[in-house]
Amino acid sequence: MKIISTYKVKICQTHGAFNATVEKYREATDFFIDVVLSEWEYLSKMQSPFDKLRAIELLTHQTANNLNAKYNFDRKFHKFPSYLRRASIQEAIGKVSSYKSNYENWQEHQQGREPGQPKAGKIYPAMYRDGCFVRTGTFTARLKVFINNTWDWQNIELKKTDVDYIQTRCKNRKECVPTLRRRGKNWYLDFAYEEEVKLQEKEISRQIILSLDLGVNNDCVCCVMKSDGTVIARKFLDLSREKDCLTHALNRIKKAQQHGALSTPRLWARAKGINTHIANLTAKFIVDIAMRYNVDVVIFEHLDLQGKKRGSKKQKLHHWKAQAVQAIVAHKMHRLGKRISRICAWGTSKLAYDGSGEVERDKDNYSMCKFSTGKKYHCDLSASYNIGARYFIREILKSLPVTLRLDMEAKVPSCIKRTTCTLSTLISLNAELAA
């Protein structure tokens, strides 16, 4: 499996040439977007991306063998680097292709607004080696930038701590082309590093999994489980202090808006920073638990967070970074050679893990629930049991021959429909397999 990690390196100096370089790159991309839109009927017949790139270059770039270009790109963008020109063309082709497909879907269904014309937007140029980026030392380099109305080389210094960190972490990885990017008032080079990782292969009966229930009340509830339904460990994470800070930051924004403030970028930046910090702490907690118990697979719920949020907790749901947590954990686990999996989230919290049916939430404490048998239990912990059980049921049935699978489904009918499976279903299925 190929894994790509990105690390940013701060450029010590702040040059106005970087602003001009990015602006020129965006203007060139807008130019090529107009060309691609005009010639789309001709370009859409080509299957290969290289053929489209070559066709647009013939239409826009004058050479000794192509003196009559239909669109004179070189007159407006004198001495524009060839690497950046081709990158702009590829960017334009991608944006126009996406626009055309979205427009066709809109014409078919006529829902929502008509897709707008594509624009370059806030894109940043990739500084290709030799053509745009050359290393002159461990902490120094040269960039080809737009300065004094021409394209020339500019010497830069890279922050020592960033370079030392990358040399320590990424010495055995392949370095890809850096991207020039601005964050706030500072400029950075974003280096992408590529590595090959072989994921572990283990029989389902020998696997140990970590099933997760990411919630709004409790940040994370973990359950380490074996294939026979044995629960090895249960862990809870509740970042009450960080959530209080987030609530305080959101209340400050609300108060400022009540006093007529239309824009509060600093207050929003603080709230987003706290929210990102909560996501990072949650992901670190999950990975630490996975490493402590040497789990083979981490199981998530497949969460559909699209659409408008409704209900009393819509603000909490809006700021809930469940997908960001899943992305961070997936990246870290893949680098360790571990796997991740997702299961259907329907009914995991609603159904009791012991198979007694639907639960009743406690109105005073939403994290607790009451089973139909009268038993009181932690609702998110019950959900984590069901999440792990559904994964094992799916993988066990998948590995069985067709005749044996149909026999098991006949003996354990609750495993036929995955959205009704609970931990008790997994225990019953293992009992029938053992018999």
pLDDT at 307: 66
pLDDT at 128: 92
Cα–Cα nearest to 279, from 242, 239, 221, 321: 321
- Sequence-separated (6 or more) residues with CB below 8 Å from residue 137: none
Q: Determine the distance from the C-alpha atom of residue 357 to the mean position of all C-alpha atoms in its chain, rounded to a whole number.
A: 35
Burial of 77 (0-12, 13-18, 19+ CB in 10 A): buried
Instruction: Tell me phi and psi for residue 236, to 5 degrees.
Output: -120, 145
Cα–Cα nearest to 343, from 284, 421, 428: 421
Q: Which residues of the chain have pLDDT under 50?
A: none
pLDDT tens figures, 16-41: 789 999 999 999 999 999 999 999 99
pLDDT at 313: 63
pLDDT at 314: 66
Bridge partners of 184, per DSSP, are none
Q: How are beta strands 174-175 and 220-226 bridged, if at all?
A: unpaired
pLDDT at 352: 92
pLDDT at 416: 86
pLDDT tens figures, 168-201: 988 889 989 999 999 988 999 999 999 899 998 8
- Sequence-separated (6 or more) residues with CB below 8 Å from residue 267: 249, 252, 253, 256
pLDDT at 81: 92
pLDDT at 312: 58
